[in-house]
Amino acid sequence: MRAVLVIVISFLFFRALVAQVKIDIPQPYGDNIIESELIESVSILPLNVERYGIISADMEMKVDGDNYFILDNKKAQCVYHFNAEGNLVETICIVRDKSEENLPILNNPAWFSINPYKKHIELYRFENSTIYRHSYNGDLLGKTEMEITPSDFIRDKNGNYWIYTGWNNSETQYRLIKTDVNGKIISRELRLISKCTPTEGFSFFSTPERILFWEILSNKVFAIEENSIKTLYEFNFGVHNLPRDYHLIRADESFTLINQTGYYGIKKVLENESFTYFFLNYTSLERREMFHVLHNKKSGEVNIYTENSAIGAFDKAHYLTDNNELVFLVSPRQVRRLLGSGTDFIPAPFAELPEEIKNYRNPVVLKFKLHDGVSSNSPSNENYFIDEAAADSLYFN
């Protein structure tokens, strides 16, 4: 009986590690993102700010319905809250701590997150390892001091925090920490003993049903549902998959290795009922590539698109709406460069964009409306090459 129980538990654990969808990044690469047959239309939401330069296109944006939150982590260290009309309705900052000691004023929220369940904006301050909770109107509602420094963090619908610690974190061997609202650790997940160069990045996206979790140099995307963590997607990067002994390599050697041989990074994952969206980077000493990947969850089709990395007009999408709109924060100048850089053919959804976007100097919210039909000239996921040897889980237990 005990042997049978062990076999059942082992089977369930193995099944949790097996990806439901495996995606190969093919070469030669696919079409440019603006040539996608999935894009029905493109629309602009200008952001109304008084001064030029307050918002830049490389800032991190989070979206909840018609609420747009942009973190300025360069100058003001504040979150700007814009509404559906693009008007700035609130500026949310961490209140500066007062001290009688002659110490420098510290006011740097290194990360931020939104809690769509309670309509909270959460700012993490690196200097005192504290998360400050604000309402969407900017009212301070509470704060929590964390035992572990997060690389990224998010709250689930039960009010608990999930903390991503990154690779080779000196504070813990676990990459995923669950705490309650007071910062008390509930569980530690995904142990990883590593000597590689420390690796951090944005790692969470929440939906009403679950939280998506990924790591920038990993090839897997997980789903967190209550206390369950399961593998949803696995990418095959071919010769650019990290070697099996990567986490046994010293920090300086691992950094040299990935830059010389080239590596893929998962920068963003989004989903709604119809699609899962991925933004990937390929980086080496010689070149950089950018990829937008869409998995149609209804048809099973996978579309992989490139972007002109020399211009980087769109970069990653920040949100995927229930209405199948990919939401970007873009620089009008860079979009004009892309569409005016000797392109012989501008697809119909983008035909009027160069003329309209020239009216703006500040970054704008750009939305790609997708249809969920099946493109006839894109390979289906069933035909993708899957290298079982590349599905390495030795260091991810």
- How far apart CA 210 and CA 67 sit, in angstroms, is 20
Which stretches of the chain are DSSP H helices?
A: 2-17, 251-261, 332-339, 353-357
At residue 14, the pLDDT reads 40
At residue 75, the pLDDT reads 78
Stretch (H or E) spanning 140: strand 140-145
User: Taking the CA of residue 103 as centre, how many other CA atoms within 13 Å lie in the half-sphere pointing to its CB?
Assistant: 10
At residue 97, the pLDDT reads 60
Question: What mean pLDDT comes out for the span 115-143?
Answer: 92
Question: What mean pLDDT comes out for the span 327-342?
Answer: 88
- Per mean pLDDT, which range of 18-32, 246-260, 284-298, 357-371 is the poorest? 18-32
Average predicted confidence (pLDDT) for the chain: 85
Contact 72, 51 (CB under 8 A): no
- Per mean pLDDT, which range of 194-208, 280-294, 375-389 is the poorest? 375-389
State the CB neighbour count (10 A cutoff) for residue 137: 11
Q: Which pLDDT tens digit goes with each residue over 153-201?
A: 999 999 999 999 999 999 999 999 999 999 999 999 999 999 999 998 9
Q: In what order do the strands lie in the sheet with 288-296?
A: 263-271, 275-283, 288-296, 302-307
% of the chain at pLDDT higher than 70 = 84
At residue 375, the pLDDT reads 46
Span 21-97+104-390 CATH architecture: 6 Propeller (2.120)
Q: Which pLDDT tens digit goes with each residue over 216-235?
A: 999 999 999 988 999 999 99
180 vs 382, more confident: 180
Question: What mean pLDDT comes out for the span 118-133?
Answer: 91
At residue 227, the pLDDT reads 85
Q: Is 157 exposed, middle or buried (0-12, 13-18, 19+ CB in 10 A)?
A: middle
At residue 95, the pLDDT reads 67
Contact 31, 306 (CB under 8 A): yes
Q: Which long-range contacts (CB under 8 A, 24 or more apart) does 242-250 make?
A: 242/217, 242/392, 244/392, 244/394, 244/395, 246/196, 246/395, 247/167, 247/168, 247/192, 247/193, 247/194, 247/195, 247/196, 247/395, 248/195, 249/195, 249/196, 250/195, 250/196
Closest CA to 162 of 71, 70, 226: 226
Residue 110, pLDDT > 90, answer no
At residue 247, the pLDDT reads 95
15 vs 239, more confident: 239
Structure token digits, residue 206: 């929440």
At residue 381, the pLDDT reads 40
Question: What mean pLDDT comes out for the span 96-125?
Answer: 76
Q: What are phi and psi of 358, to 5 degrees?
A: -70, -10
At residue 31, the pLDDT reads 85
The angle formed by the CA atoms of residues 149, 182 and 90, to the nearest 5 degrees, is: 80
With cut-offs at 50, 70 and 90, classify the pLDDT of residue 270.
very high
At residue 87, the pLDDT reads 96
% of the chain at pLDDT higher than 90 = 67
Q: Which pLDDT tens digit goes with each residue over 137-150?
A: 999 999 999 999 99
Residue 23, pLDDT > 80, answer yes
Residue 108, pLDDT > 80, answer no
Question: What mean pLDDT comes out for the span 9-36?
Answer: 69
- How far apart CA 320 and CA 64 sit, in angstroms, is 10
At residue 385, the pLDDT reads 32
Structure token digits, residue 333: 């100048």
111 vs 95, more confident: 111
Q: What are phi and psi of 366, to 5 degrees?
A: -115, 135
Q: Which pLDDT tens digit goes with each residue over 45-56?
A: 999 988 888 899
User: What residues does each domain of the chain span?
Assistant: 21-97+104-390
